[in-house]
Structure 1
Amino acid sequence: MSVRIPVSLIAEPEAHRPPSNFVPKLAWPSLDSSNAPADLGRFPRWDEERRRHAAGEFEAWSDEFMVALERARKRVWLIDGFLLKADGRAKATFFQVFERALASTRAEDIRLIIGPKAGHHEQIASLRELEAARRQPPRRDSFAIEIQTVREGKSPVRLPHDRFAVIDSELWHWGANVGGTHHEVNAYSRGWSSRETGAEEYFLRLWKYLKDASV
Structure 2
Amino acid sequence: MDISSRLIKIVEMVPMSDTVADIGTDHGYVLIELLKRKKIKRGIASDNKEMPLEKARKNAVAENVENSMDFRLGSGFKTLKEGEVNGAVIAGMGGILIRELLENDMDVIKHLDFILLQPAQNPEILRKYLYQHHYRILEEELVREDRRFYEYLMVKYDPVESEPLVNHLDYVVGDLLLKKQHPLLKDYLTSKIKELEEIKEKINLTSVNAKRKSDDIILKIKELRSVRDGSDG
TM-score (norm 2): 0.28
Task: Compare the two structures and name the one with the higher helix fraction.
Answer: 2
Higher-RCO chain (CA-CA 8 Å, sequence separation at least 6): 1
